[in-house]
Amino acid sequence: MTPAADPFDWLPGTVVAVSSQTARARSLTIAVPGLREARAGQHVDLRLTADDGYTAVRSYSLSDVRGSRAAHGGRDLDSAGGAGRVGEDGSVRVSAGGAGRVGEDGSVRVSAGGAGRVGDAGIPSIEVTVERMVDGEVSPYLVEDAEPGDPIEVRGPIGGWFVWPPTEFEPDSAVHAVLPEPPGATPLRAAPVQLIGGGSGVAPLMAMVRARGRDAPPFRLLASVRDPRSRWFAGELDEAVRASSGMGGDSVAGAATGGDSVAGAGGDSAAGAGAGGRSVAGAGADLDGAAATRAGASDDADPGAGGALGAEAALRVDWVYSREAPEGEARPAGRLTRDELERFVLPASAHPLVYVCGANSFVEAVAAWLVELGHAPTRVRTERFGGL
């Protein structure tokens, strides 16, 4: 078994699967022999090298880390048709025309008339989701041109603060002296989790949703996008909400609010717009002004807004739109306000652990509002992106 590399070393990786999220965004699964185990919320640096030796580096948040938990090593892929293998240099070989897909367990499968599998074969893999920027140097290649079998160098994973499950520091750590926990708060790992993403800022939050186990605390995701066509992971999130109803809740609610900005994923993405109209939720609460569609919820369930956790589902997802709301939406697209944010998010009294990711303006506004609403600054963790 090959020991995990230093997170600041460049490692040879190989694209093994690609899938479109929107017309301008695509997820890429990259197999990286020797990669350290990644945590949801971390990011990696990707390096592309041109034939003339020119290199370009960009940072991207990880949208899936499950495949990195495979054993580290370098043996041939299990295959029945020679779809893929690990070369002596540690790279992953994918035969011409090979396609790839990611299994429900986070492992990577590559195939070209046969079944190759990265993950259980000992090759860690990660997923990044990239939005194409018009003037970008790296994102156009990743979104439009990269295919299974293409090489790419990876450095990381990097980050220890904006991660879930959260890093737990020793009681006498200097971290607690600088960032004390709020009195009476639920321990970090048991605290409910509120995720707030602007545009492609949902990418690292999706990694957290995917990393949940059946014993995870309640999760809420508020995702702000320009329009319905800009939703990332929409189908998977809908399915996760339905599946989570058996983990702690049984209702689906639709709601409306606003927003103001969209973040690009990683260093090669940019800011855009924000929030607006419709939510898909797995909780037992209707929001004020919302047209709700509910499944399996009691007619006399408490209609409170962002508050009670008693009937909370394991996962709730709210989509809001800034530029264009879906047809028939109760509230037209518009900017997110402080009052609307308060209705959507878990209350400060629940001491949730809050992760906010998006463009600078989006994150600054939302983080400030959260503190004004009584959330402890030490429990509001932020990650912000800017266009390069």
Q: Within its chain, how far is the Cα of 338 from the centroid? A: 24
CB 280 within 8 A of CB 220: no
What is d(CA 153, CA 32) in angstroms, rounded to the nearest whole number?
Answer: 8
**pLDDT score, position 293:** 27
Query: Which is more confidently placed, 179 or 105?
Result: 179
Among candidates 321, 316, 309, 314, which has minimal Cα distance to 294? 316
Digit-coded pLDDT (tens) for 282-331: 333 332 323 222 222 333 333 234 444 444 458 999 999 999 999 887 77
- 174-385 has CATH 3.40.50.2020 classification: no
Of 1-15, 117-131, 162-176, 237-251, minimum mean pLDDT range: 237-251
**How far lies 143's CA from each of 215, 312, 321, in Å?**
35, 37, 23
What is d(CA 143, CA 151) in angstroms, rounded to the nearest whole number?
Answer: 15
What's the chain's length in residues? 388
pTM, two decimals, is 0.76
Per-residue pLDDT, averaged over 98-120, amounts to 43
Which token pair is 309? Answer: 């956790």
**DSSP H stretches of helix in 62-201:** 139-140, 174-178
**pLDDT score, position 278:** 34
Q: How many helices (H) and strands (E) does the chain have?
A: 6, 16
Q: Which residue type does 145 have?
A: D
Report whether pLDDT(24) > 70. yes
What is the end-to-end Cα distance of the chain in Å, rounded?
38
| CA atoms within 13 Å, Cβ hemisphere of 90 | 19
The CATH code for residues 10-158 is 2.40.30.10
Domain ranges of the chain: 10-158, 174-385
The values of phi and psi at residue 33, to 5°, are: -55, 135
**pLDDT score, position 4:** 63
**pLDDT score, position 3:** 62
Per-residue pLDDT, averaged over 164-173, amounts to 84
Burial of residue 105 (number of CB atoms within 10 Å: 0-12, 13-18, 19+): exposed
The neighbouring-strand residues paired with 229 are none
Among candidates 143, 163, 149, which has minimal Cα distance to 65? 163
Are both 10-158 and 174-385 of the same fold? no
